[in-house]
Structures are given as C-alpha cells and as structure tokens.
Amino acid sequence: MGKPQQRQALVGCEECGLVVALPELGDDEKSVCPRCHHTLVKRIAQPFQRPLSYGLASLVMLVASISFPFMSFSVKGISQEITLMHSAEMLSVFQNSLLALLLLLTVLVLPALYLVSLLYLYFRAGQRLKYPGEKPIALWEKKLCRLMIRIEPWLMVDVFLIGVLVSLIKIASLADIGLGMSFWAFCLYTMLVVKCVSMADRTWLWLQFLPLEPQDGVKAGDCHNSYNHVSCHVCSQLNPLTEEKHARCIRCHGRLHPYEPQQMLQRSWALLIAAAVFFIPANLYPMMYTVSLGKAEGSTILGGVVLLWQLKSYPIAAVIFLASVVIPLAKIIALSWLYIMAGKGGSLDEKKAVRKLKVYRMTEFIGRWSMIDIFVVAILVALVQLQNLMAIYPGPAALSFACVVLLTMISAMSFDPRVFWPKDSALVSPAGYVNNNKEKNSYE
C-alpha cells in the first residue's frame, strides 16, 4: 500500500520540467532530478531541532551586531567610531537613500524577517509531527512561508562581510583601525545565517504541512511541454492546466506562472538590456570621492583597482576587479548568450542542454557577489569622516552599479531554464532508481 502512495508524490523539476516521483528520504539524503541533477528535496539530520537552534542563535548575534560599536578609525589623534546602523545612515545623509535602504534590507531587515519566519514555521511543523491532531496550516501561515522563500535570494550578509574585510584592508595603511564587539558578533551572525539557509528546504517544509496532491493524467516522465499541468515554483505542487489569469496554486495559494517562453524571454531581455545601460555610467563616473587635506578626488571602479595595484595590494585589487568588473560584464555576456540560445529553442542533445543549464546556475550564483563594491563604499563613507583632514563620500556611479547588480539578478530569476528542453525530450532521459551514498533520484 505504501509504494503506490509514494508514486503519487510527484513534483516538476523547476530547471528542466521533468515530472519526478519523490523517493522516501532518510537523514542527510536528498532527491535529485535524474535528467539535470537539480536538487528536488533534501532532508537533514534532526530536521526540526537544528534549524531552530541555528535560527535562534542567528537572531541573538544580529541583536549583538547592532547594539555595540562596529569599528573605529583613527588618524593623527582624530577618531571616528561607527555602529552597523551608522553605515546606512551616512549613505542617507549624502543623498543616497536608495543605497541606504538596499543595505538595510539585504543585511538586516530581510535576514531578520527570514529567521523569524523560519523559527515559527519549523516550530509549527515540529508541533504537527508531535501532535498529529494540530489544526491545519492557516492562510496567513502559507503567506508567511511564501514570503520566507521569496526573500531568501536577497540575503546578502555574507557579501557584506566580505565588503567589510575589503574595506579594512583598503584603509589599514592610512590609519589605525579598531574592531568593536559588534564586528565579531556580525562575523558569527554571518556564519550562522549561511548555515541556517543551507539547512532549510522549501519542498520538505511544505510536505510537513500539506501532502502533494496527485493530478489526474500526470505521471512521472511527463514534462512541462506535455501541457497537462502547471508546476508551482513555491511548493512544487503540480496544478491542473487552466486558462484563468492570475491562477493560484491549489496547495499554497501562490501565484502560478504557466510556461510561456516568448513572454519570459522578452521580460528577461528587457531587464538585461536595462542592466547593460546602467553598466556604462557605473564605470565612467566616480564610485566615491576621497577628500584629503581639503582636496577632493574622484575614483572610478577601474581607477580604484589601479590604485590598489600600485600600492601592491594585489589580492584586494584582484577581488575588486573580479567582483566589480569581470563578474557583472561576464554575467551580462553569459545571460545574453543563454537568451539567444533559448530563442532558438531546445536541443534533443541533453548534454548540450545540461551545459547551458550549468552556465545559467553559475550566473545565478555569482551575480550577488558584485554587491561587494557597494558595501565597501557604504563602510568607507560611514567610517572615514574626519572633516577636511580625510573623508570619503559616495559617487554617482554607486547607484548605477547597484542597479546593474539588481537588474541582472532579477533578469536571471525571471528566466525559465526549462526552455532548453523541447517536447518529448524526457523520452531520452535515464530511467531507474539510484541510491548513491547521500543522493537519491527517482524516475518511475
């Protein structure tokens, strides 16, 4: 009786569209798509206790990160001490409120909201396991789970920490730098948040609240081009195909996005072109202005890299050059190539499709790291404010560069990689059940 019931737990791979039957998982095992090897669902050991403990510890470190001095800057007897919140305040003072809001959201507000949501939902899921008679998940709880999933890509505490370290190395030779209690608390906070996010799995979490509902006419081995279902990108539920606009998932009530390759490509191209336009002023105008003994001097991204190289700070020059020049430009070029290939349609050669998918995954992964330069500017602007003796102000290129990063990220998120696989390509996919140490895939 158990095996047929397990076969009904079908999900559609969000990266290649293949409908896969989920196997039963043990601790520290994950189910992967047999065609593109995208992780469908994973289960960690102690799945309720560990996220709760890491999430609670992260919140404690977050409070400590904003409660004490973050770092100090001292030169010729004049000193400046800042808190973590001060970096956002100074950007707002210099008429860069949008950058200040971006910093607050990605480093403090959204991570805090994510952690609170995760703590509540995992506690609620644990209660349902302990007391099966618990009332079903409410509509507002479904909204909270959807919110947690949607804000996850925008958590940038790890990127901010790298930006802080780069800032320290850039100005360490100019003055004495002191690290406050909040700096060390933020380092712990970053590691805990990264660990907490790595343990959370949306498909597994939804399974603790609601089972996957089977759909008539949909079987393992179908794909998105079978046009007999719409897969929910939030909870992985397969929904019946409908012509209704703004249709909602029958399981999580999230907005459904039918497979529409032409509209998707148009939207992705528009966002990418806008990013390419902003890339020009981001590199032509100064990223920040440095005032030394009353004399102001602008510094572009490339100018800052050249200066660091001349000062023999080769590793930092390399990091800034990669994060601020190579990665944004490479991402624009890579996404352009992917969109052109997608416009030509999929290929029956699955090896080529998998290669394209690997490029897409890489562009999604590296895109957020370009924010390092923005966070470097935020820290330096807040820290180096010694009037005419030495001061740093944000330049006009900072906002343009932030737009490049955000637009390329949204463009990549808007792109649907299922377009690389044409109709009936599932017929040439490897079949069977594989148990390879901690990895399982199933295609029945």
* Block residue for tokens 């572009």: 300
Report yes or no on 199 lying in a domain: no
Q: Per the structure block, which two tokens stand in for 248?
A: 């909602």
Residue by residue, pLDDT tens for the chain (444 residues) are: 333 344 558 899 988 888 999 888 888 889 998 888 889 999 988 888 899 999 999 999 999 999 998 888 777 767 778 888 888 888 887 778 888 899 999 999 999 999 999 999 999 988 887 777 667 788 899 999 999 999 999 999 999 999 888 888 777 767 778 888 999 999 999 999 999 999 999 889 998 888 888 888 888 888 888 888 899 988 989 998 877 778 899 999 988 888 888 899 999 999 999 999 999 999 888 888 877 766 777 778 888 778 777 766 677 778 778 878 888 899 999 999 999 988 877 666 677 888 888 899 988 888 888 888 888 888 888 887 776 667 788 888 889 999 999 999 999 999 999 888 865 554 444 333 333 345 555 544
> Rounded to whole angstroms, how far apart are CA atoms 354 and 430?
13
Structure tokens at 127: 């209660």
Q: Is residue 21 part of a domain?
A: no
Do 339 and 265 meet the contact criterion of CB atoms below 8 Å apart? yes
| CA angle, residues 61, 62, 63, in degrees to nearest 5 | 90
CATH number of the domain bearing residue 284: 1.20.140
**What's the CA gap between 154 and 325, in Å, rounded?**
21
Its domain, for residue 344, covers 260-416
Unique residue bearing structure tokens 């609670």: 56
β-strand partners of 72 = 81, 178
Q: Residue 121: inside a domain, yes or no?
A: no
Where do we find the tokens 């990160």?
Answer: 65
pLDDT score of 424: 53
Determine, yes or no, domain membership for 172. Answer: no
Question: Is residue 303 one of the residues assigned to a domain?
Answer: yes
Largest CA-CA distance found in the chain, in angstroms, rounded: 81
Residue 345 belongs to some domain of the structure? yes
Residues 343-375: tens digit of each pLDDT: 877 666 677 888 888 899 988 888 888 888 888
DSSP SS3 for 34: coil
| DSSP bridge pairs for 80 | 73
Given this model, what pLDDT does residue 189 score?
A: 96
Question: Is residue 404 domain-resident?
Answer: yes
Please tell me the number of Cα atoms within 13 Å of 383 on its side-chain side. Answer: 27
SS3 385: strand
DSSP 289: E
Look at residue 156 and tell me if it is in a domain. Answer: no
Which tens digit of pLDDT belongs to each residue from 177-223? 888 899 999 999 999 999 999 999 988 999 888 888 888 888 888 88
CA-based nearest residue to 370, from 341, 411, 406, 415? 406
Closest CA to 252 of 238, 267, 268: 238
**H-type helices in 27-83, by residue range?**
49-65
Q: Which residues pair with 41 in a beta bridge?
A: 31
Count of domains for the chain: 1
For residue 382, what are its two tokens?
A: 């807040």
**CB neighbours of residue 345 within 10 Å:** 10
pLDDT of residue 169: 79
